[in-house]
Amino acid sequence: HSPSVILTPLLYCGFFFFIFFCTQNIPQRSFGIDYDCNCFVKDGRPFRYISGSIHYSRVPRYYWKDRLLKMKMAGLDAIQTYVPWNYHEPQLGVYDFSGDRDLEYFLQLANDTGLLVILRAGPYICAEWDMGGLPAWLLEKKSIVLRSSDSDYLAAVEKWMGVLLPKMRPHLYQNGGPIIMVQVENEYGSYFACDYDYLRSLLKIFRQHLGDEVVLFTTDGASQFHLKCGALQGLYATVDFAPGGNVTAAFLAQRGSEPTGPLVNSEFYTGWLDHWGHRHSVVPTQTIAKTLNEILARGANVNLYMFIGGTNFAYWNGANMPYMPQPTSYDYDAPLSEAGDLTEKYFALREVIGMYKQLPEGLIPPTTPKFAYGKVRLQKAGTVVEVLDRLSPDGPVKSTYPLTFVQLKQYFGFVLYRTTLPKNCTEPTQLSSPLNGVHDRAYVSVDGVPQGVLERDKSLMINITGKAGANLDILVENMGRVNFGRYNNDFKGLVSNLTLDQDTLVEWEIYPLDVDGAVNHDINGHLDRPERCVDNPQSYEAPTFYTGRLSIPGGIPDLPQDTYVKFPGWTKGQIWINGFNLGRYWPARGPQLTLFVPGNILVSSVPNNITVLELEHSPCSTQACEIEFVDKPNINATTQYENYAPQLFVRDIWLNHL
């Protein structure tokens, strides 16, 4: 394709504008839709955008500028970002816009870099993010119907939008900022509720706070089926679709809702997401380059999703159903890697973009150097049960039957459920979750002796042994809430009763655990007693904290640099460095073996404090008790993969988008 192919319609378009607008007063900064020339119009002139997705919540603030500049240098006009509600309102009425959550600073940096912004304000965002960005505290009303006109849901949305949108208003393009368009909801046509009143309420709320001028839009799968419940008069309907398909057919679907106006693919997939236990997704560069060329040749607007995926730090990953949580890396096989590295895909797509517009002059910021700090020895600091008083300073909540995380007002991480064995279990006795109510993984021990793991959808029963009256400890991990589809209201913890043989277990002591708080107050060094023997012939060990120190070597310029941490012989857990929660590791399941460690969390003046919570089995009794810092990622290992047909599921989502 040659660029001249698109010149004709643009000239035609320009002519139209000449007669249409030159008789009127065009405001200095304006952005809108022109239905006669099927294009956007910016400052009175036809405008087509090439945009890329970056989620500020997945990139440390320290690196925002670097990533934005790399995006600018790829020839992008705009970036697109989601606003995750649960990231900013962690508890009802408690708002956080500081540090890594400083959305306004991010917008300012984008503007300073010369990038426009397409804001996807939610309230629901999907995004492979915990609960699709909806705060878990919404579930305090158990029967709430999320993403509908449910009055409690709408009241919470209205309150949140009353905080978020007034902050955004000064950043709108016509007010001197970078935001040209604001997306309402996300792929609503894929949701079962199909509640037009809900979309109408959102439209009203958005208009009330942002004014009448800004372009509000929706995004849905490119088919009549998806647009049926996703599109609404007053919201410009755009579509999303993957490379390799029929671009003409996809845009025809958009034309079904918008007979005229600009063609827009709001999510053109540069790669795809991953799940623990499934093969790492890769989408070939040539396929993307070819379809991108077709989209641009047509004069259409496009957003590359993702341009940089980044990282699900801490507990922020989501999950799909049947229950499949996403890993810590959100690399996405995007043009910029998880760590912001320039890839072959970056340069190939930049070249395609360069056929349609002038690329900016200047240097592309180089890939940040990575450093292999090597092995770090860890020491056992105590089991979860041994340090329980520090993890749960307020002590347990007593309840006849188990309570969920939401009932405990703890939304992330881990909760310890304790009861006593009502009878002697001298022979192996069945502990089971007949209603599949372990959400999501439970590490079971009796008086400190590990018994096994229960897992949602996968392992609903184990045998345990122990004496009557012994403590039955069940540490339950929330592995991330479902972010897509009708099972969004994903309660965590023990969401149904457990049975021992046929008997329902009762009289629980439930310990909410503030693991992150305890890690920040140094979980290490308070153990005066001699270390207990960790030798364990079984395959399971009780969940245990390990700590260690990483010293940055002297005499090497420009340290500390980024690095990756890998877990040889470790099984599954969570890691913090200097109190920063880097996320979950699970080399036993894969495909991700290394975690990205951004250099900005490391210091060279004093040793860096490492805390590892290993949930299943460490190498410490048989091999070296070490983790290792390396200079290359490995997120595509071939470990054991699921037997049931994950590929089918993934295809389903693809089909939704085609």
Ligand X SMILES: *[C@@H]1O[C@H](CO)[C@@H](O)[C@H](O)[C@H]1NC(C)=O
Annotated active-site positions, please?
187, 267
Q: Is 208 a residue that touches ligand X (CB under 6 A)?
A: no
Q: Is 355 a residue that touches ligand X (CB under 6 A)?
A: no
Of 2 and 248, the one with the shorter C-beta distance to ligand X is: 248
| Shortest CB 236 distance to ligand X, Å | 22
Q: Which of 23, 248, 358, 643 binds ligand X (CB under 6 A)?
A: 248
Single-letter amino acid code for the residue at 341 = D
- Angstrom distance (rounded) from CA 158 to CA 161: 5
Of 377 and 467, the one with the shorter C-beta distance to ligand X is: 467
Percent helix, strand and coil across the chain, each to the nearest 5: 25, 30, 45
| Shortest CB 452 distance to ligand X, Å | 8
Q: Is 504 a residue that touches ligand X (CB under 6 A)?
A: yes
Strands (E), 447-562: 449-455, 461-466, 471-477, 493-494, 499-500, 503-504, 508-512, 544-550
Of 157 and 565, the one with the shorter C-beta distance to ligand X is: 565
| Shortest CB 470 distance to ligand X, Å | 10
Q: Is 360 a residue that touches ligand X (CB under 6 A)?
A: no
Find, among 167, 170, 178, the residue nearest to 42 by Cα. 178
CB of 581 closer than 8 Å to CB of 315: yes
Pair of tokens at residue 337: 């890697």
Of 201 and 459, the one with the shorter C-beta distance to ligand X is: 459
Q: Which of 30, 208, 424, 600 binds ligand X (CB under 6 A)?
A: 424
Q: Which of 496, 499, 536, 621 binds ligand X (CB under 6 A)?
A: 496
| Shortest CB 212 distance to ligand X, Å | 21
Listed ranges 51-59, 341-349, 354-362, 606-614: which one lies at the site for ligand X (CB under 6 A): 606-614
CB of 474 closer than 8 Å to CB of 465: no
- Which H helix or E strand runs over 408? helix 405-408
- Angstrom distance (rounded) from CA 202 to CA 219: 14
Q: Which of 246, 286, 604, 623 binds ligand X (CB under 6 A)?
A: 246
| Shortest CB 365 distance to ligand X, Å | 20
Of 61 and 200, the one with the shorter C-beta distance to ligand X is: 61
- Angstrom distance (rounded) from CA 48 to CA 38: 10
Q: Is 176 a residue that touches ligand X (CB under 6 A)?
A: yes
Question: In the β-sheet with 544-550, what is the strand arrangement from edge to edge?
Answer: 379-383, 544-550, 608-614, 573-577, 580-585
Burial level of 10, CB count in 10 A (0-12/13-18/19+)?
middle
Single-letter amino acid code for the residue at 62 = Y
Q: Is 603 a residue that touches ligand X (CB under 6 A)?
A: yes
| Shortest CB 390 distance to ligand X, Å | 14
Q: Going residue by residue from 271 to 300, which x/- string records binding to ligand X, judged by CB under 6 A? A: ------------------------------
Of 204 and 409, the one with the shorter C-beta distance to ligand X is: 409
Strands (E), 288-372: 301-308, 319-320, 324-325
Listed ranges 11-19, 135-143, 361-369, 603-611: which one lies at the site for ligand X (CB under 6 A): 603-611
Of 232 and 635, the one with the shorter C-beta distance to ligand X is: 635
Single-letter amino acid code for the residue at 482 = V
Listed ranges 38-46, 117-125, 333-341, 462-470: which one lies at the site for ligand X (CB under 6 A): 462-470
Within residues 508-527, the interface with ligand X by CB under 6 A covers 522, 525
| Shortest CB 128 distance to ligand X, Å | 21
Rounded to 5 degrees, what angle do the CA atoms 411, 518, 392 make?
60
Q: Is 27 a residue that touches ligand X (CB under 6 A)?
A: no
Phi, psi (rounded to 5 degrees) for 556: -110, 125
Q: H/E/C letters for each residue in 173-193?
A: HHHCCCEEEEECCCCHHHCCC
Listed ranges 33-41, 256-264, 496-504, 616-624: which one lies at the site for ligand X (CB under 6 A): 496-504
Q: Which of 10, 33, 252, 527 binds ligand X (CB under 6 A)?
A: 252
Q: Going residue by residue from 118 to 157, which x/- string records binding to ligand X, judged by CB under 6 A? A: ----------------------------------------
Single-letter amino acid code for the residue at 558 = D
Measured N-to-C along each axis, helices 247-257 and 285-297 cross at an angle, to the nearest 10 degrees, of: 50
Of 176 and 322, the one with the shorter C-beta distance to ligand X is: 176
| Shortest CB 549 distance to ligand X, Å | 7
Q: Is 604 a residue that touches ligand X (CB under 6 A)?
A: no
Q: Is 638 a residue that touches ligand X (CB under 6 A)?
A: yes
Pair of tokens at residue 346: 């970056």
Q: Is 310 a residue that touches ligand X (CB under 6 A)?
A: no
Q: Which of 609, 611, 618, 656 binds ligand X (CB under 6 A)?
A: 609
Chain centroid, CA 258 distance in Å: 31
Of 187 and 341, the one with the shorter C-beta distance to ligand X is: 341
Q: Is 249 a residue that touches ligand X (CB under 6 A)?
A: yes
| Shortest CB 316 distance to ligand X, Å | 23
Rounded to 5 degrees, what angle do the CA atoms 171, 48, 357 make?
110
Listed ranges 119-127, 247-255, 555-563, 615-623: which one lies at the site for ligand X (CB under 6 A): 247-255
Q: Going residue by residue from 378 to 407, which x/- string records binding to ligand X, judged by CB under 6 A? A: -----------------------xx-----
Peptide bond into 543 cis (omega under 30): no
What separation, in Å, do the N-terminal and C-terminal C-alpha atoms of the chain show? 23
Pair of tokens at residue 57: 């919540």
Residue with tokens 């090497």: 556
Number of Cβ within 10 Å of residue 651's Cβ equals 12
- Angstrom distance (rounded) from CA 351 to CA 657: 26
Instruction: Tell me the pairing of strands 50-54 and 301-308.
Output: parallel
8-state DSSP, 269 = E
Listed ranges 298-306, 312-320, 380-388, 463-471: which one lies at the site for ligand X (CB under 6 A): 463-471
Strand partners of residue 305: 269
Of 322 and 428, the one with the shorter C-beta distance to ligand X is: 428
Strand partners of residue 494: 438
Find, among 104, 161, 106, 108, the residue nearest to 133 by Cα. 161
| Shortest CB 496 distance to ligand X, Å | 4
Q: Which of 5, 7, 606, 624 binds ligand X (CB under 6 A)?
A: 606
Q: Contact positions toward ligand X, by CB under 6 A?
A: 111, 114, 176-177, 246, 248-249, 252, 401-402, 423-424, 428, 461-463, 467-468, 496-497, 504, 522, 525, 578, 603, 606, 608-609, 636, 638
